[in-house]
């Protein structure tokens, strides 16, 4: 491998000749051999740095045109566009397990954009610190990247996934409107419910999860940029924070604003914790929905078997013909991961000491993993399972009319205790509720038929 020599305040460093990063990135690359190639800083953060560095250059050009010249702005913008597009991902090698402020990832962005910008300009025009990091600090850029990436993940990935599954459930509600089945509570038979009503519970859960995420978004759209090192805004021109938030908004098409209190923005991660709580709520509901689906589809002969789901792949290496609810299992594993991530996010956010939180990389790593896993799992579940759910009408009808809890309909006519006696007799002797009720002398056959209509109990 060929190398070139780069330098920083600590001296000279050998850097791979084909990479745009420089000395500080290389030092981190060599000093933190933890999770290399596996737990790289999320690409969503790389993308967000491209956005915020371009926005900073635009704001500096407006407020400090003598330093951020037209030529510099053009070179930085072009390089940042390549970062945003993902073209330069190979030049961002650093892992999550680095400095807790994300300083080295900020410098990684500064160095790559400076070197690529110089290449575009055809001259040594840009300096990583003086130009790319102008009016900024790692302490306000990394929190800003966290918020930008979190907003993009929720609005551009999680919301579309939720919306798609909600539409599927709406269709299934309409298709199954007239079907009545046995309800279940405590995993035991309960009073009847329409299958469409059961599905509506799934849909409504997702819609509420979406609303909770919407509530979290305004706080995430507040940016720390402009606070610089400790929240005072040292070395940033007056109005920089407002202008850079405007530029980020224009670049993303989303309405970001400057954080009203930069001291809070640098040290507290409560907005991330709150938003991840909504992701955890979504995970909990997806766990419930996936479990419902696999229970209802259990069988094919010895389980509940009330619905059919798509058969996607063989389910056993030893049992021929076995097919398993694998999409449901994937969703439930993702839900467990998200719930674990919530602990990590909360613990990381609790470690804000004085003017800075130094657990930011692990905090956003877990947040973005949760958003990514949930969105992809929901899309997969919808495409490979939910869209193909079909009611097993015969099994539903059988289970409904075999349920002892239909006796609840008799409460107004024979009372709770007599109804309980009826159910217990029917279960013990293996006879119908009608036979048990009549034999106990609580109702005549004619009166039983008059008042007993399971389909009307929904």
Annotated binding site for substrate: 101-103, 127-130, 137-139, 185, 317, 322-324
Give the other-Cβ count within 10 Å of 436's Cβ: 21
The two three-digit tokens of residue 126, written as one number: 């840009």
Confirm whether 276 is a catalytic residue. no
* Residues 6 or more apart in contact with residue 165 via CB below 8 angstroms: 206, 378, 381, 382, 386
> Which residue positions form the known binding site?
101-103, 127-130, 137-139, 185, 317, 322-324
**Distance between CA 162 and CA 305 in Å, rounded?**
27
Distance of alpha carbon 363 from alpha carbon 361, whole angstroms: 5
DSSP-based three-state secondary structure for 222: strand
**Tokens for 39?**
């737990």
- In angstroms, the CA 307 to CA 299 distance is 10
Cα–Cα distances in Å, from 400 out to 140, 182, 190? Answer: 61, 5, 10
| Known active-site residue 186 | yes
DSSP character for 269?
-
Residue of 7, 85, 204, 316 with catalytic role: 316
Closest CA to 80 of 58, 44, 49, 119: 49
State the Cα–Cα distance between residues 390 and 259, nearest whole angstrom: 49
420 Cβ contact list (under 8 Å, min separation 6)? 407
Residue 227 sits at the vertex; the CA angle it makes with 226 and 228, to the nearest 5 degrees, is 90
Q: Which residues pair with 356 in a beta bridge?
A: 353
> CA distances (Å), 70 to each of 60, 121, 203, 225, in order?
11, 12, 52, 22
As annotated, the active-site residues are 186, 316
């Amino acid at each position: 491998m060929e190398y070139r020599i780069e330098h920083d305040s600590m001296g000279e460093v050998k850097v791979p000749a084909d990479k745009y990063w420089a000395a500080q990135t290389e030092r981190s690359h060599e000093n933190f051999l933890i999770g290399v190639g596996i737990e790289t800083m999320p690409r969503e953060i790389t993308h967000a740095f491209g956005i915020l560095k371009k926005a900073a250059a635009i704001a500096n050009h407006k407020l400090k045109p003598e330093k951020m010249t037209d030529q510099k702005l053009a070179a930085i913008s072009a390089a940042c566009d390549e970062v945003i597009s993902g073209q330069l991902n190979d030049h961002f090698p650093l892992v999550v397990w680095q400095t807790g402020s994300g300083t080295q990832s900020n410098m990684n962005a500064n160095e790559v954009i400076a070197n690529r910008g110089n290449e575009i300009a055809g001259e040594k025009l840009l300096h990583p610190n003086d130009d790319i990091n102008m009016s900024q600090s790692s302490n306000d850029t990394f929190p800003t990247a966290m918020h930008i990436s979190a907003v993009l993940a929720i609005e551009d990935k999680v919301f579309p996934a939720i919306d798609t599954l909600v539409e599927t459930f709406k269709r299934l509600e309409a298709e199954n409107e007239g079907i009545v089945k046995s309800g279940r509570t405590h995993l035991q038979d309960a009073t009847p419910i329409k299958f469409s009503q059961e599905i509506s519970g799934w849909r409504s859960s997702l819609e509420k999860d979406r609303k909770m995420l919407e509530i979290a978004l305004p706080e995430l759209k507040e940016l720390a940029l402009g606070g610089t090192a400790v929240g005072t805004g040292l070395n940033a021109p007056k109005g920089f924070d407002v202008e850079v938030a405007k530029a980020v908004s224009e670049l993303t098409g989303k309405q970001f604003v400057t954080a009203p209190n930069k001291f809070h923005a640098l040290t507290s991660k409560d907005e991330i914790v709150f938003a991840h709580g909504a992701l955890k709520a979504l995970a909990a509901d997806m766990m419930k929905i996936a479990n419902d689906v696999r229970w209802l589809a259990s069988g094919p002969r010895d389980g509940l078997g009330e619905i059919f789901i798509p058969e996607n792949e063989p389910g056993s290496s030893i049992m021929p013909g076995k097919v398993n609810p694998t999409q449901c299992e994937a969703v439930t594993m993702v839900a467990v991961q998200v719930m674990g991530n919530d602990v990590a996010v909360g613990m990381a956010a609790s470690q804000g000491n004085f003017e800075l939180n130094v657990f930011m990389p692990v905090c956003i790593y877990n947040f973005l993993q949760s958003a990514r896993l949930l969105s992809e799992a929901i899309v997969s579940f919808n495409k490979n399972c939910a869209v193909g759910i079909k009611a097993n009408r015969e099994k539903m009808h059988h289970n409904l009319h075999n349920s002892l809890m239909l006796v609840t309909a008799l409460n107004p006519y024979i009372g709770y205790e007599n109804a309980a006696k009826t159910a217990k007799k029917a279960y013990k002797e293996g006879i119908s509720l009608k036979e048990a009720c009549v034999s106990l002398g609580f109702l005549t056959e004619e009166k039983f038929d008059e008042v007993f209509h399971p389909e009307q109990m929904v």
